[in-house]
């Protein structure tokens, strides 16, 4: 799996590390991830596939201006909002509103960050 590095985070109730980030010199990661596929909860535990997974590529702008196409964090969160609304419609849960609020809080903060970068004239360029 080199040069991917497994993340410490695990999905409850499993203790198996199933997510990895591709190392790079600039960020130490942050743009390309590998996620092991899940087979669901079976006989009291979460099961994951052996050697099968998916790569998630986030958009990346290199220092020389080259763009590596990928998804935005906000797109991923919007997908999660849609997914969990649909799941909740079929299997309602008390936790849904809390999950929804957390994801919406992320989107609000992301919008504020973009607005701040736009107002400072640094949106789309590699500058603080």
pTM beyond 0.95: the answer is no
Residue for token digits 């906000």?
A: 74
Q: What is the mean pLDDT of the chain?
A: 94
pLDDT at position 25 is: 87
The angle formed by the CA atoms of residues 6, 11 and 13, to the nearest 5 degrees, is: 130
Specify the DSSP class assigned to residue 29: S
For residue 116, what are the CA distances in angstroms to 10, 111, 113, 126? 33, 9, 5, 14
Residues of the chain with pLDDT under 50: none
Domain parsing of the chain, residue ranges: 1-71, 72-120
Tell me the pLDDT tens digit for each residue of 55-79: 999 999 999 999 999 999 999 999 9
Residue for token digits 């763009």?
A: 67
pLDDT at position 123 is: 84
Give the C-alpha separation, 5 to 22, whole Å. 6
């Amino acid at each position: 799996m080199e040069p991917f590095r497994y993340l410490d985070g695990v999905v409850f109730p499993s203790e198996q590390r199933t997510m990895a980030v591709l190392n790079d010199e600039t960020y130490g990661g942050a743009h390309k991830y590998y996620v092991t596929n899940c087979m669901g909860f079976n006989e009291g535990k979460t099961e994951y596939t052996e050697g099968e997974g998916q790569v998630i590529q986030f958009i990346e702008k290199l220092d020389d201006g080259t763009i590596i196409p990928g998804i935005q964090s906000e797109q991923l969160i919007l997908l999660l909002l849609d997914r969990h609304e649909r799941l909740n419609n079929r299997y309602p849960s008390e936790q849904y509103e809390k999950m929804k609020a957390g994801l919406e809080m992320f989107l609000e903060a992301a919008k504020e960050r973009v607005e701040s970068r736009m107002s400072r004239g640094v949106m789309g360029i590699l500058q603080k």
